[in-house]
Amino acid sequence: MYRFVLSRLAALVPTLAGISLLVFLMLYLVPGDPAQIMLGERANAESLAELRAAMGLDQPFHVQFYRFFTGLLQGDLGRSIRTHEKITTELFQRFPATCELTIASMFMALVVGIAAGLWAAVRKGKLSDLLSMILATAGISMPVFWLALMLMLLLAVYIPLFPVSGRLSTHIYFEPVTYFYTLDALLQGNFQAFGDILWHLFLPALTLGTIPMAVIARMTRASLLEVLGEDYIRTAWAKGLSQRIVILRHAIKNAFIPTLTVIALQFGYLLGGAIITETIFAWPGIGRWLFLAVQARDFRAVQGGVLLLATIFVLANLLADLLYAWLDPRIRYDKK
């Protein structure tokens, strides 16, 4: 098992290096001049040349990439062209908001999706199975932006139950420390703020988690039905074991292996889909920050944000690989 873990960790190094190269290359080839954006259209040629030299934009590609990569190893992603703040500082302040939204969305997707998939598999061919799969298909088919607008219209306008923007009401005093609002509120014992944070979090989390919820439900149902047809499951039935024991002790563990792949991929989808959700709900996370950076052609900010999201996606897939080996020892590569 240790050899398998070490091999997967070693594979991260070239993967992350390749990601950094691709991110830098894509933005290097994008038309546009950051110096022109910073100084404006009326800037003269001398000012533009001085700023390009100061930013290293007049250097060859390999020199620029070397400066970018060495800065990356030192935790320095440069400064934002739009706000002139350090990109690492802005990521530190905005990543917790996206992380909270992603975790809440994935929690909803896992709880509802796995429960619906198990229920549909156990009651295969019945009305509840049909209704579950119809709802799952509808959930996959709905675009995120349309679902967000419909939820806002229904649960914030017609039935004013939830707010439509922000992370916290303006009348509540709250001083963040780690910028994970839920954690900070609990550590400070500010339960009023904690409740208000969850109140603001519900609608965007539900919007973002609907499609992964539907995908997980369909995969859980398909995997469990396949496992229930295996010989060892028939043997368990023949022994007279109850349905609960057969499913919980023998079937779920093996059926969950394909579902892990979907969960890891959907986690990456949540990070990418958060751009749309955060923009609609004015959620101050990385997604909305990246949207504004793209609009302003803030190349350095886009580089930092995309690199962070890609790294998290790779780490999520690594975690899924390790969970495979834990659930099914046959996957491990440390056999002697």
DSSP string, 122-156: HTTTSHHHHHHHHHHHHHHHS-HHHHHHHHHIIII
Predicted confidence at residue 310, as pLDDT, reads 80
pLDDT tens track of the chain, all 336 residues? 667 667 767 777 787 788 788 877 877 777 767 777 767 677 788 887 887 787 777 788 888 888 878 877 787 887 887 787 888 888 888 888 988 999 999 999 999 998 888 888 888 888 888 888 888 888 888 888 898 999 999 998 899 899 988 888 888 888 888 889 999 999 888 899 999 999 999 999 999 988 889 889 888 888 888 888 777 777 877 877 777 777 777 777 777 777 877 887 777 777 765 788 888 898 888 888 888 887 777 777 888 888 888 888 777 777 777 776 666 666 555 444
Structure tokens at 2: 């240790």
Structure tokens at 187: 């550590």
Phi, psi of 86 (to 5 degrees): -65, 135
Predicted confidence at residue 4, as pLDDT, reads 63
Q: Cβ(220)–Cβ(255) under 8 Å?
A: yes
Cα separation of the two ends of the chain: 11
Region for 278 from its dihedrals, namely left if φ exceeds 0, alpha if ψ lies in -120 to 50, beta otherwise: alpha
**CATH 1.10.3720.10 holds for 100-286+319-331:** yes
Ordered DSSP codes for 222-273: HHHHHHHTSHHHHHHHHTT--HHHIIIIIIHHHHHHHHHHHHHHHHHHHHHH
Predicted confidence at residue 253, as pLDDT, reads 76
Residue 264: C-alpha distances to residues 14, 158, 233, 296 (Å): 20, 36, 27, 32
C-alpha closest to that of 309 among 279, 285, 277, 282:
285
Q: How far apart are CA 150 and CA 160, in angstroms?
A: 13
Q: Cβ(232)–Cβ(250) under 8 Å?
A: yes
Predicted confidence at residue 336, as pLDDT, reads 44
Q: 79 forms bridges with which residues in the sheet?
A: 86
Predicted confidence at residue 107, as pLDDT, reads 92
C-alpha closest to that of 38 among 24, 26, 50:
50
Angle at alpha carbon of residue 131, lines to 211 and 228, rounded to 5°: 85
C-alpha closest to that of 333 among 1, 90, 34:
1
State CA 322 to chain mean position distance: 19
Predicted confidence at residue 272, as pLDDT, reads 62
